[in-house]
Chains A and B, each alone.
Chain A
C-alpha cells in the first residue's frame, strides 16, 4: 500500500515534535526513519499508527484520508522496542490476539497462527509463556503478532533497541528476508545508522522535527544534503578551503583523505601523524595540522605499508572530495 503524510505538525506543550513533515512511501517499500533521540521519528510513527493525533497535516493510505481514523481501524501492525507481549497469554494466544478480537473463526485462526510461527521460526514454542523466551525470540513473536491480521503497513519502533549486538545482526538480516518474502510496506524507526542502512530501501533522516534528507542509503551517505546529515552519518573532517576570499571549510570523510610523502599541488597541505590505529579493514591515521587542528584519515593496508607511517611523521594530505554546504545546518 502506498501511503503519504503531508505537512504533519505536532507539538507537546512548548516542545515541537514535528514541523511540517511530508513523506511518500511506495507499496512494498521499507523506509527507515533515522535520527537522534527526540528528533520526532517516534512521534511520526505513532501518528501513522493512530496512537497520536497530529495538530495539522494529513495521513493518507492509498489515497484515502485516515488522519482521523482510530488506531483499531487502520489495519497497521506495530512492533515495540520492548516487545509489549501479553505476558499472561501463551505465544500462540499472543499471535492469535488480533484475529480473535476481530471475531475470526477458530478454523481460520489456528492455521494462520501456525503458519506465522513457522515463518518466524518458533514452531515449537506455541505453548510457552513470553517470559520463557529470549529477547530475540520475543521480538519475533511480536512481529508474528503484528503480521497476523495482514496489516497494510508494518511499523517497527526501534525493534532491535533492547537486543545485544549479535542477536541484533541476526534479526536484522532475517527481517530483511522476511520483508522480501511478504512485501509489506514497512516503516522502521531507529537511531542506529547500521540498522537503517542495512535494512531500508530508503532512509528518511530527521532532526528537530524536520526531515533533513530522504533517499537510498548510498545516496544519503555519499551526497548528504546538509552539514548536519554529513555529521550525523559518520566522522567528518573539516578542511580549510584555500584560494577563497572568505574563510570557509570543506568537509571530507576519513576515507576521502589521501596521504602522501611528497608535496603535490594544492589543495594538499602539510600535517603530522599523531597516532595510528591498525586494527580494522582500513587503517585509521590521526593527524594534526595548523598546530592543534586534527584530522582522521583511513587508508588501506597496501597504501599504509607503502607509506610506512610512524607517529610524528610529516606528511601531505589531499582531500579527494570536499563538500561545501552553504549556511546553517550546523549542530
Chain B
C-alpha cells in the first residue's frame, strides 16, 4: 500500500517538476552532470586504454601475458576466491540475524560491520602487521612453525577480507529487513526447522540481493590496493596482486605495460557493472 502511494505521488510530481524547470536550467544542470562524469570517469578510462596501446597492440598483449602479470592475476583471483566466499557466508549469517531477529548486541554487530567502511584500508594492513606480524607474539610463534602471514598471501587475504567485510552483509541486511518476518514465521508455524526456513524461505527470497552484494564484494576485493600494499612486501611474481603489479610497473617507468595491466582491472569493472545492472533488473522484477 505504501509503495503504491509512493509511485502515485511520484507519478504526480515528476511531470510537474519537469515542466516547472525552464530549458536553460535543464540544459545547465545536464551539462554540469555530464561534464563532471566526463572529467572524473570517462577521461581517465579513455586515458588508460590510450596509454596502454601507446606502444602498439603487440606490446599491450606482451605486458598482459608476462609471467609477473599472470602471477599477479593468479594471486588476485586466489585472494578473491578465499575472501568472497568467506564474506558471503559471514554476510548471510549476520544479515539473517540482524534482518530477522532481535538479540542482545545487535546494535554492536551492526556498528562493527560498518567499521571497515569508515577506516582507511591502509589501517587494515597496519592492524594485521601489529596483530600477526613477525614481531608480534602470535606472528612470531606462527613463524617458528613455518607459517608466514605477513608479507605473504594469508596476510593479503586477511587485509582484503577486512576491507570487504561488510559488502555482502550490508546488502543482505537491507533486503532481509525489507522482506519482513512474516514468511519466516509462516514457515516455522508450518513445521519448518530454522535450517529449513533459512534454505527454503529466507535465502531464495533474497537471492538477487545476495548476488548483488557478492558482485560488489568481488569487485572491491580484486581492486583492493591500500591494505594489501602494506602487508604484501611487493615481491614480484610472488606477493603482487594486479593493482600492486600496476604500481610496480609504473615505478619501473614501464608506463604502457602498467596501463595495459590496469586495463584488465577496467575490464573487470565493466563486467561488474553489467552484472550489477542485470541483477538490479532482476531485483526490480522479483519484488
Q: Chain A: residues with CB nearer than 8 A to chain B? A: 49-51, 71-78, 80, 82, 84-89, 97-98, 101-102, 142, 145-146, 148-149, 162
Contact = CB atoms under 8 A, between A and B. Distances in A.
Given A84-B182, A86-B201, A88-B205, A97 B189 contact: no
Contacts, number: 69
Closest 8 CB pairs of A and B: A84-B182, A98-B190, A101-B192, A84-B186, A88-B204, A78-B189, A71-B188, A72-B191
B31 interface: no
Given A82-B182, A88-B204, A88-B205, A145 B188 contact: no
Interface string B260-287: 0000000000000000000000000010
B205 A101 contact: no
Contact of A51 (B188, B196, B286): B188
Contacts of A73: 191
Given A87-B205, A87-B286, A101-B200, A77 B189 contact: yes
A271 B182 CA distance: 54
B258 to A, nearest CB: 46
A72 to B, nearest CB: 5
A184 to B, nearest CB: 14
Given A84-B182, A86-B183, A88-B205, A101 B189 contact: no
Contacts of B182: 80, 82, 84
Contacts of A75: 191
Contact of B191 (A49, A87, A101, A142): A101
Q: DSSP class of A's interface residues: helix, strand, loop or mixed?
A: loop
Contacts of A145: 186, 190
Interface residues of B, number: 19
B108 to A, nearest CB: 20
Nearest to A80: B182
A153 to B, nearest CB: 11
A210 to B, nearest CB: 26
Given A86-B201, A87-B286, A98 B183 contact: no
Interface of B: 1, 182-183, 185-193, 196, 200-201, 204-205, 207, 286
Contacts of A101: 187, 190-193, 196, 200
A84 B180 CA distance: 9
A146 B191 CA distance: 11
Contacts of A72: 188-193
26 contacts: A49-B185, A50-B189, A71-B185, A71-B188, A71-B189, A72-B190, A73-B191, A74-B189, A77-B190, A78-B185, A80-B185, A80-B186, A84-B185, A84-B186, A86-B201, A87-B205, A88-B286, A97-B187, A98-B191, A101-B193, A101-B200, A145-B190, A146-B190, A148-B190, A149-B190, A162-B1
B29 to A, nearest CB: 37
A156 to B, nearest CB: 12
Contacts of B1: 162
Given A72-B189, A72-B193, A84-B186, 8 more contacts: A49-B185, A76-B189, A77-B190, A78-B189, A80-B186, A88-B204, A88-B286, A162-B1
A98 B192 CA distance: 7
A149 B200 CA distance: 18
Contacts of B201: 86
Which residue, of B185, B189, B207, has the highest number of chain A Cβ atoms within 10 A?
B189
Contacts of A76: 189
Nearest to A129: B286
